């Protein structure tokens, strides 16, 4: 049996939330998507609130993954403890609230989702994601394994893809908000894309108002980021996976406008 799994790039601010609410469920129905993972890292532009996480779930996400802004909103800490369908990077310290890996039961079989974060320039106190990922692969029993690697460096992301080739069903990168053109199935059967892109305002700088981003580059004083305005887009990747083996058969980048 084959199933289609959708990974959605970072939701950025109200434009991203509203576009997701409008587009995700119809896209799932039209394309027979069995499972959807959405990165909610920037739903509040920086970080995410419980209310926004609830909205992402209502919009059709099965799982929300996070990244370097996980702890920006302190009210998320009990939310992460209480809900198993939202993950923070597994390479944060074990004393941190929430979990970085979980198994979800579906009628076609169980799915394991792992959230990891890179260390290059993200300036977070995290453990090395590579031995952690490798160690988890030795323990996971489920056939379908999905990995959201929230990282800055393209080399770091591609190295993770090849490390997990033949072990995970799909590995995708998030964080840089620009969709890459390398969606593929790696030699040993793992679906891969370096970055899913983002879900937010089309006319923006990584989801942020262009004038503010230009001002920052020109040396303006720091201020709270504001999301871009105008029409939205959703970017991500659809992975077609064989349930009996967990092998990815096809990886196709997606952009909805």
Q: Supply the residues annotated as catalytic.
A: 69
Q: How far is CA 24 from CA 21, 29, 51, 159, 256, in A?
A: 6, 9, 18, 30, 10
Extract the tokens encoding 5. Answer: 């799994």
106: nearest Cα among 13, 28, 34: 34
Q: How far is CA 220 from CA 160, 211, 214, 216, in A?
A: 36, 11, 9, 5
**What is the total residue count of the chain?**
257
**Chain position carrying tokens 């790039």:** 9
CA neighbours within 13 Å on the CB side: how many for 257?
6
Extract the tokens encoding 116. Answer: 């990891």
């Amino acid at each position: 049996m084959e199933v289609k799994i959708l990974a959605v790039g970072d939701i950025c601010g109200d434009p991203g939330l509203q576009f997701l609410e409008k587009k995700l469920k119809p896209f799932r129905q039209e394309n027979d998507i069995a499972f959807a993972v959405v990165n909610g890292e920037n739903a509040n532009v920086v970080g995410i609130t419980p209310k926004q996480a609830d909205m992402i779930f209502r919009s059709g996400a099965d799982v929300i993954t996070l990244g370097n802004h996980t702890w920006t909103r302190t009210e998320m800490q009990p939310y992460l403890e209480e809900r198993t369908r939202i993950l923070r990077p597994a390479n944060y310290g074990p004393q941190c609230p929430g979990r970085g890996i979980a198994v979800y039961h579906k009628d076609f079989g169980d799915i394991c989702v792992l959230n990891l974060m890179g260390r290059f320039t993200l300036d977070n106190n995290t453990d090395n994601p590579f031995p952690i990922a490798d160690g988890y692969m030795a323990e996971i029993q489920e056939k379908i394994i999905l990995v959201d690697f929230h990282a800055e460096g393209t080399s770091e992301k591609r190295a993770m893809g090849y490390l997990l080739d033949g072990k995970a069903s799909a590995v995708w990168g998030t964080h840089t908000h620009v969709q890459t053109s390398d969606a593929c199935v790696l030699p040993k059967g793992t679906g891969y894309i370096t970055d899913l892109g983002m879900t937010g305002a089309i006319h923006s700088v990584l989801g942020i108002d262009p004038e503010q981003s230009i001002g920052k580059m020109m040396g303006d004083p720091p201020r709270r980021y504001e999301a871009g305005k105008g029409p939205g887009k959703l970017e991500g990747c659809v992975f077609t996976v064989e349930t009996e083996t967990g092998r990815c058969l096809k990886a196709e980048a997606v952009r909805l406008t």
